Structure 1
């Protein structure tokens, strides 16, 4: 991958611009903008996540945010309440407070002298989730979003429960988030307050998994922030991407099929849980260029042709030998104008006592006693790279352990 260092606009970097919310909590933002933005206001792009802009995401931010700023956008990377150098405490994921904070941030951005009033929001994973969730609240300045590796259903299609079963990731990700949110802020930005802010976090932040396990069923806790409860609430142009080596590939097709109140375009490649210009397995895509086309159309009004792109661009993978560190996945790109395809025929089949799938809905009473180690070959829930063996490996042993019904 070539790293671009020369841009049409000279970029000015403000490492700690404060955004004071209505309750006087100060959020810390890194802001990159063309040097003439105060004289010639520009659209803004927001990424709003808890992963610490000073160290946690600094490498990827350097690659992405300067690219957009150098091409005529103000780019803000905001630490959420209680994370990084932002004040306050974070008590859970995707809370009403988190989303209302973001609505205030978007309103604040739109009123700055360097912003022309148009704001876009982008992110992957947590940042992809809250892109959709904030768009559901319909703040006026928010004109478009780019969401990756996200979900429309917090209960059935995230790290917590699958088919009603508690996932291991529910607990392990809780520990990961505890390690992020319990780190101290950077003294070079917050000064002598760093110790007080740090101790406040250590004394008060919870283990999120404890709350998640108190909601084993699909209740109001999970319905909050789940677009599947009201697809029509999404009314801004949405570019969504996912990867076959990740867990969140369902979101792209769900959005294309169900979100009818806005323009939706989707891309699914062979990738793990990373942005598509850097993610393994290859081939990667020019994601920054695709994103720029999206922003230029919906934030600046340029005719870039994105509205005429196929609704669904999919990487059709060839079969390969099992490899938990796959660097390249052979295959080909295909496009679909609509989803689901008109030629797809849906059938309902039932499990039978003979180990087959039947069209008859006879009642089958049985107990399935799967070995506890069935599924070990499946790999990590959302692999992050190919440098460690996280992807799916040889699952023939898991297949042998599994109950199979055939048609």
Structure 2
């Protein structure tokens, strides 16, 4: 354990070794409140503690930074714990959210509660991975876990995570971002100035024994026991502490916060903004808010025992979005903050009808609309948001050309929706495997189409996501597609549009068979969309209603950019090769200290054939440079995933150099039969 000199009422404590049941030690850093005059010994002054539990290498962040420092300045110990097999922690890791990882976290809480510098009141906080671990460990109900604040989390690792959606396999993200990124991150060295005599053992252990998570995900293409161990869906009652959930409508996880809020039986609060997968003070699109102030008010009540009125405030606080020009570089969203005591329950049904109409009441007319499966549709839908700092959707009309579209008349009065809608379709296909994607859009008077939310179902999962069944070509099936949750206000004069196709490229990996699909609608085969309507708030003309909740403002934001000659997000058309591609670029630098910085760079090249949807490929490269006064280390990982009609083929190469000389190399090669994907 290393103690840093105090700064602004906080002392930074490095590398507290936390024991686990099997003898492996985890590494924890703390920002601890101290008196300016040094009159109190931090090690014997009990404080409540708020812990983040993630594998993203705490030692790559400089001391006295992040919200852990903010917590300490407010009288709460801000702690960050490296998961087993990552960063400066011992042990090995071959997968995310393992049972062992969850047990480690629960044990850490109970150990921390017994330390003389802790009051025994412990909370957990984290975004994405840290939100996942918070709800997973809360479901184990450790005695001293008092509250959790999960941000951008899931309750179901199969239906609502970055690997699968609606029984279809996600595409760009695991290769271009998280999945392939963790291969290199888990092979990076700890730092000798912190890990001391354990430095060499820890690094060798991580290099030689850690394994790519991605291979396990590809081997588990249907729901089942593997995905259940890290999911709290259907066992919400096992959470016994209070919960403050934070989510974003443009985040990749808009559904779990609403579903979890609905089922929890403990004190709870829900905050949903318009945000992507970036913390709410810095997220795009805005308005951004100072969410740390909201977290501290919650913790003052639950960790310090203050009666500050926070539990008398509305439990549901959501941003109701409205139409904006759909530009990928926009930083704000029109709308208003709405307050409710609970999630409202209401619905309104529109039926599909001939002539591309979406109508309030079903007609007697029978209709059948047909479209050809184009695996490149979806490029205007944005990028699934799990960490890439861009990806907002653009005008939907280029995608709508290759879709079936059903549109209402101009609305005579506003319509507001809050929650998850459903699309019921009667379909048939010429292919044995086919996905059906639904897009809900807000259409302006000039025809511009702004994406509200989407949903997808691999129709082989129409009755079960555990035991898929192929489609019989030409047979009619009724399927239900769950739309993503949203909060949206359609203004008077706008139109509501439902679009149906069979692709969401580059967010979903294409199903392998070419085909043509029918959508049927009649009294015998009703196809419809059901939206979760709520009471409409009054407003003047086309102005948005006034805010019903006030927040301290967050930070200013700018669209993400690299150098002028380095575009970060491109859709590419290979005209002669009849292929459509995606390229992405992302980089950052973390200045850890005067003696060290860490440079990260990610690139992705993804292609799909317009004529042969089985022919798709993705290559992600993730390079990390650790630059120190005493030398330079490079950890370079490359992941290639390609598909044929009956299998996925994955090659992974990991190369580590020290001062430009080869140091370590590992490789993995594996093929996975497609399970009706």
TM-score by length of 2: 0.54
- Structure 1 residues 268, 195: CA separation in 2 closer, same or farther (over 3 Å shift)? same
State which of 70, 73, 84 in structure 1 corresponds to 2:87: 84
The answer on 1:345 being equivalent to 2:344 is no
Unpaired stretches in structure 1, ≥5 consecutive residues: 1-5
Aligned residue runs from structure 1 range 1-400, under 5 A: 10-35=9-34, 36=40, 37-55=42-60, 57-58=61-62, 62-168=65-171, 169-172=173-176, 173-191=178-196, 193-259=198-264, 261-339=265-343, 341-342=344-345, 344-345=346-347, 369-382=372-385, 384=387, 389-400=390-401
Change (3 A) 1:41 1:193: closer
Offset at residue 191 of structure 1 (A):
2.8
Pick the structure with more helix per residue.
1
Root mean square deviation of aligned Cα: 2.7
CA shift, 1:385, in A, is: 6.7
Residue 379 to residue 190, structure 1, CA distance change in 2 (3 Å) = same
C-alpha distance in structure 1 between counterparts of 2:156 and 2:401, whole Å? 31
Structure 1 pair 71/26, CA: closer, same or farther in 2 (3 Å)? same
Deviation at 1:195, TM superposition (A): 3.5
Q: How many Å apart are 1:82 and its aligned residue?
A: 0.9
Q: How far apart in 2 are the matches of 1:71 and 1:375?
A: 46
1:186-228 deviation per Cα after TM superposition (whole angstroms, max 9, x unaligned): 1211135434422322222222111112111110111112111
Normalized per residue, the structure richer in strand is 2
Q: CA deviation at 1:231?
A: 1.6
- Aligned residue number for residue 3 of structure 1: none
- Whole-angstrom CA distance in 2 between matches of 1:175 and 1:67: 32
Equivalent-residue separation in structure 2 for 1:218 and 1:379 (angstroms): 26
Structure 2 portions without partners, runs of 5+: 1-5, 35-39, 408-527, 529-677
Does the CA contact (< 8 Å) of 1:279 and 1:385 recur in 2? no
* C-alpha displacement of 1:351: 7.2
Aligned residues: 393
Q: Is this contact kept in 2: 1:33–1:75, CA < 8 A?
A: yes
CA offsets, 1:275-319, max 9 Å, x none? 212222222112111111111111111012221121211111231
Task: Say which SS state the counterpart of residue 119 (structure 1) adopts.
Answer: strand
In structure 2, the CA distance between the partners of 1:192 and 1:23, relative to structure 1 (3 Å rule), is same
- Distance verdict in 2 for CA 1:393–1:179, change over 3 Å: farther
Distance 2:20 2:201 in 1: 20
- Please say which structure displays the higher CA radius of gyration: 2
What SS does the aligned partner of 1:303 have?
Answer: coil
Deviation at 1:336, TM superposition (A): 1.5
Q: Secondary structure at the match of 1:275?
A: coil
Q: State the alpha-carbon separation in 1 of the partners of residues 197 and 288 from structure 2.
A: 44
C-alpha distance in 2 between matches for 1:317 and 1:138: 36
SS of 2:337 mapped into structure 1: strand
| 1:356 positional shift | 7.0
Evaluate the alpha carbon distance shift between residue 140 and residue 11 of structure 1 in structure 2; reply closer, same or farther with a 3 A threshold: same
User: How many Å separate the matches in 1 of 2:393 and 2:79?
Assistant: 36
Partners of 1:370 and 1:312 in 2: how far apart? 40
Tell me the alpha carbon deviations over residues 158-194 of structure 1, each in whole angstroms, 9 at most, x when there is no partner.
Answer: 1111110010134443101112111111121113543
In the aligned structure 2, how far is the partner of 1:131 from the partner of 1:147?
6
SS in 2 for 1:293: helix
Partner residue, 2:580: none
Deviation of the 1:134 alpha carbon: 0.3
> CA distance change for structure 1 residues 101 and 401 in 2, over 3 Å: closer, same or farther?
same
